[in-house]
Structure 1
Amino acid sequence: MTTASRARNGRWDDLMPRLTSGAGMVIVGIIAIRLGGVWFQMLAVFVTAVMVWELARMIRQDGNTAMLLAAATASVLSGLLQQDSAPYLLLMLGPALFGTFAMPRERLTFFLFALGISAAGWGLVTFRDTYGGTWLFWLVLCVVATDILGYFAGRAFGGPKFWPRISPKKTWSGAVAGWIGAAAVGAIFLSFTDAGWDLIWISALLSFASQMGDIAESALKRRMGVKDSSGLIPGHGGLFDRFDGLLGAALFMLAVAFVVEVPQVHL
């Protein structure tokens, strides 16, 4: 086998572990979203807490502090999901502020990421409860299409890098393929929802937000000098590595939900 052939094959070395672990997460996610209620809440709280644990480990590299912050995040988020009053949302600042003072460095970095993770976890559960499973499936499928098509297009076509200084593996071909894939998801949802045609370009915009979440986490890892947020998921790294795009998409939809009636998906 030539060096070029080995290089081409090497581009797909992580495909099987990615597909296997990815399939498992998809199954769990589908079941939890479909069931909603306490089942989806438990999944969201667990994933949010683990991502805060990974964030703290990347910055402080102290397992005890990271576990304490994860437990605090899970406790506060669980309580918030039982409340309907907006003032209670200020409690979300608690774990992020506590962790900020516990960090020996990168305190603002921890605060911003921890608050973003918690807000996204709360937002996804609230989004599911308010608008139903259909629209949460739309959001998740846009992110999944962005990730899958971006992965295959980037590996197959290569080309100019999207943001080489921060994420050297991401290409423009992968980014554009992700936008097209998300737009296609939006087009499919047009066939059985009351959404207008704006759903197509908003799906593409959601894809871009997902990519920015991915880019933000890549910048964090590069700043911290780590390859993965953890080694929990074969072929994917940690939960933060896997759900960084969903975080970006969730935060984007939180902002959109303040100005539009989401089931109509108009700006």
Structure 2
Amino acid sequence: MIGSGKFQDLAPRFGSAIIMAAVGIGAIWAGGVWFLLLVALIVAGMIWELHAILTPEPRGKAGLVLGAMAGGAVLLSGLVPVALALPFALLPSIAGIGLLRRNRSLFGGYGALIVLAGFGLFHLRDEFGLIWIVWLVAVVVASDVLGYFAGRVIGGPKFWPRVSPKKTWSGTIAGWVGAAAVGFGIIAVTGARIDLVGLSIAAAMAAQLGDMAESAVKRKMGVKDASNLIPGHGGLLDRFDGMLGAAIFLLLVERLADFPPVPGTAF
């Protein structure tokens, strides 16, 4: 039964996923300011959660201020040239280092990655078009969903039990298979080069690394979820940690991998 055993969390996860999918699909389809606003809100929430995780003492309004700064930086990146907005992308991290009493380097580094990932996601949609943001989201979702079910149905050796006790090698590999399938599907639709399959698998690996990094931070701080904003999923960091890893990966390898890998773009 869905309400018991290995799948007892499936019902709330599914309900929340439907709502998130509806909002996400609408914003991705609309693009422009609507997608920019969604990314800015998510980034702001993730920075607020990161501050809450790393600050066990009474938090006051510092997390809200840092989140607002991060969301504002993402909004700015859609209104001015990216180079002009980049100092504002790093400003929340710098401010956080000054405000936090401990875990300063962790907030500074992780916070910078969150905001830069927001920059990357918006400009992926804005510069490369609908199909490529759909591809990246589909890779992350396929990796996560297949990993979830394979890990619970097949089970087997754990991936990193000290940090994430539920993650298995079977789920990890199933995620790669799902990402490869997404790559082949996009190739069929767009005529992209076979390179896309390798890029899809690597993006799924980056998403899994993003997931593990967030799990490691939570385990270090002794918390289960980043927050309780999303029933069945925890917080925004819990839900979008994989997208964070994939977006940062794509930012790093975009030129190296000659992205997007469509015919006629190879050097």
- One-letter amino acid of the counterpart of residue 187, structure 1: F
Using the TM superposition, give the Cα deviation of residue 93 of structure 1 relative to its aligned residue in structure 2, in angstroms: 1.2
3-state SS of 1:165 partner:
coil
Pairing 1:85-164 to 2, within 5 Å after superposition:
85-164=82-161
Query: Are positions 1:234 and 2:213 aligned together?
Result: no
Query: Are positions 1:192 and 2:189 aligned together?
Result: yes
Which of 208, 212, 222 is matched with 1:211 structurally?
208
Query: Retained in 2: the 8 A contact 1:76–1:91?
Result: yes
Using the TM superposition, give the Cα deviation of residue 87 of structure 1 relative to its aligned residue in structure 2, in angstroms: 4.5
Q: What do residues 209-234 of structure 1 show as CA deviations (whole Å, max 9, x unaligned)?
A: 00000000000000111000000000
Query: Retained in 2: the 8 A contact 1:182–1:207?
Result: yes
Specify every segment of 5 or more residues in structure 1 that has no aligned partner in the other structure, as ranges. Answer: none
3-state SS of 1:146 partner:
helix
Equivalent in the alignment of 1:252: 249
CA RMSD of aligned residues (A): 1.8
Query: Retained in 2: the 8 A contact 1:233–1:239?
Result: yes
* Greater CA drift, 60-69 or 165-174: 60-69
Residue 205 and residue 101 in structure 1: after superposition, are their counterparts in 2 closer, same or farther (change >3 A)? same
3-state SS of 2:159 partner:
strand
Q: What do residues 142-171 of structure 1 show as CA deviations (whole Å, max 9, x unaligned)?
A: 000001000000011110011112211100
TM-score by length of 1: 0.94
Query: Retained in 2: the 8 A contact 1:142–1:206?
Result: yes
Identity of aligned residues (%): 48
| Paired residue total | 262
Query: Retained in 2: the 8 A contact 1:100–1:110?
Result: yes
Which of 60, 64, 68 is matched with 1:71 structurally?
68
3-state SS of 1:162 partner:
strand
3-state SS of 1:185 partner:
helix
Residue 137 and residue 63 in structure 1: after superposition, are their counterparts in 2 closer, same or farther (change >3 A)? farther
Query: Retained in 2: the 8 A contact 1:194–1:264?
Result: no
Specify every segment of 5 or more residues in structure 2 that has no aligned partner in the other structure, as ranges. Answer: none
Equivalent in the alignment of 2:28: 33
Query: Retained in 1: the 8 A contact 2:147–2:173?
Result: yes
Using the TM superposition, give the Cα deviation of residue 77 of structure 1 relative to its aligned residue in structure 2, in angstroms: 2.2
Q: Which runs of 4+ in 1 moved over 4 A?
A: none
